[in-house]
Structure formats: structure tokens, C-alpha cells
Structure 1
Amino acid sequence: MIKSNKITILILMFSLIIFGFNVKHASATHSNNLVKTLEKRNELVVDNNTTLVFDTNRDKNSYMRSLASTTSNQLLTMKSSSKSPGGGRLIDTKTKKGIKGGYATSSWAKSNLYVMTASKTFRFEGSYEWHGTLGIGFDFTKGVEVHIPANKKKWSRVGLYADYKFSRYKKWTPNMSVPIYYTEKKRLASYYKIVYKKK
């Protein structure tokens, strides 16, 4: 009996140690991931280039429930029509070129040529104001080596840029008194561009 109690106590102590470690680990990573979590909680990734951004988390949940009750044939019909997958009605659209998402080079330099190696990955982080603030983030990479000429008399860096098409949708779902609103972000292109230092 005494031996059994000792084993039980040891198990409890071990569990407390593990639990304490997990709490500390969660606390340490919480602040680093908080912003990203808030940005992503109302988003739904469709593919590598397309993301749906819902006005509220309630809208996202309602949208997901409506998809669950949609048949494969209905989805195919929606994709071939002017509606988005899920049956939203298009109410506004806009294309924006040249959204900046950071730099590929770490510092300013006077160079006549920048050579960006193939398959090197950079983190693109930007935003655009349209029906609210739309966060834009993705892994920027090119499959081929890129040569970018520059004016060697000026201080320059290589910037990360992208073109996007934004589409605004409105969707009614059964048993709801108000519609769902969401914005589709579709990346059209991503590219390097020389940025010159302002005087």
C-alpha cells in the first residue's frame, strides 16, 4: 500500500513538472503569435494565391456551415458562374498593383546590379486598405535566378512587390436575418523591384 502511494505521488509530481513546462512554453510563444492569430482567425485559405477574409468570425463560421451543406455539383456550378465558391454574390472589385511587402536585401548599397538566386525564400508582409485593412502575407520565392539592374550612383535596395485583385462578396444563408460579407484576396503576380533611398 505504501509503495503504491509513493508511485502515485511520483506520477503526480512528474505531471506537475510537465504541465508547468507546457504553461511556460505557451506563455513564451503567446505574445509572438498573438498578432498573426488575430489576423488569421477570420481568414480561409482557398489555394496558394487566394484567401477569403471575413468581416467577423461569425461570418466565417456561417460560411463554413453553408459549404458543408453544399453538394459537389452546386460547387462546380458556382465556380463556372460569376459567384465565388460558396455562392457569394459579387458586389465590388478592385485590382491593385505594386503592393510593397518588405525587402530582399538587408541594407542600402550603391550597386549597378543585384542578383537574386533561385529558390531563395523571403517573407512578404504588407497590407491594403479596402473594405477594412487586408493583411497580405506569403512566402515570396522565384524558381529562376533574377538579375536586376540599378543606378550605381544612388543608394538602393531590392524590394518585394505584388499585384492583387480584391473581390467583395455578399452571401445569404438559411435561417439568418443578416448576410455574410467577405473579401477575396487573389495574388496575380509577385516580383522584385529596385527601391531608391529618399534624400
Structure 2
Amino acid sequence: MKALFKWTLTVLLLSLTAGCSSMKIQDYANETPKLDLFAFFNGKTQAWGQFQDRSGMVLRRFTVDITGTLSADKTQLILDEQFLYNDGEKQTRVWTIKQTQPNQFIGTAADVVGEAKGQSAGNALNWAYVLDLPYKDSSIHVNFDDWMYLHDDQTMVNRAAVTKWGFKVGEVTLFFRKPTLENSAP
């Protein structure tokens, strides 16, 4: 009986890990245009996105107005994100992002547990962090495996897998767009 239990547990664990992402940031090292995180988010950026549950059903849609400000010494980026959800809820998240080494970043925000760790290569950036997500009358900690891809100087696509205890609970899809000069005039 013990052998059957161990065999079943082993098969279960192997099947769970087989579904894990095998993407590596270095897979994108030769992709262009090259992402400069601080340059892309400096100034105004708009975003549109949605949260899908694990079956793919869209549960919430949102827009985000983002203002990025570089520190005087250009070693830190502050991202002020103003969310508006399709149900009327508003939310603010302020990120502080620092480059620790070439292509290595850390980020903090009030609802991020500890530090977000980021790596970039080519046109891509991968963030890994734990978010304290409001849920019913409390909150839960969920893991984000966040991938951002620069398409051109004004457009970035973001996909994030959201997991809890190793199980996928949902996915966030987000599109960022820098305003063009004619669209940024008052």
C-alpha cells in the first residue's frame, strides 16, 4: 500500500511540474526592439487589461493610467498606477523600481509582499512576486509570474500567471501604450 501511495504521489507531482513554465529570460536575448524599462515607463503610459480565471473566463476588465518618474540620478523609477475596473472600483498601486545590476531589477509596492524580482533580456522582462490580493473580507497572497514583451517603442504586452500553492488560479493580460505626440496634447 505504501508503494502504491508513493508511486501515485510521484506521478501527481511530476504531472504538476510538467505544466510549469520552461521559459527563460535568456530565450529573448536577441529579440528586438531592446527593452529599456526606465525609458519606456518614464512619463505617461496607458494600459488596458483583464483578469481571467483558470478556465479562461474573463472576470474583470480594467484600465490603468500610469505616471512614471525617474529619480534625478536615474537609478530609481516610481510608477504611479491608477486603476479603474469595469465595476467602478478604483485602486492605486505605486511601484518603486531599482536596477540592481545590468538587466536585474527589484520592485516594491504597498501590496507586494517583500520585493518583486525582475530580469530583462532583449525585448522581454520577467517579474516574480507575491501580491497581497483583496479577497472577500480579507486578503490572500498569490504568486505572479509576470512576462512583459516590448513590441515597438510605444507598445508592450504583459501576461501574468497567477498561482496559489502552485496551482494556477488565473491570468492577467495587459496592453501598455505610450501616447503619441498628437494624442498627448491637452
Q: Could you tell me the TM-score, scaled by structure 2's length?
A: 0.24
Of structures 1 and 2, the one scoring higher in RCO (CA 8 A, sep 6+) is 1
Structure with a larger share of its residues in helix: 1
More strand by share: 2
Structure 1 length-normalised TM: 0.23
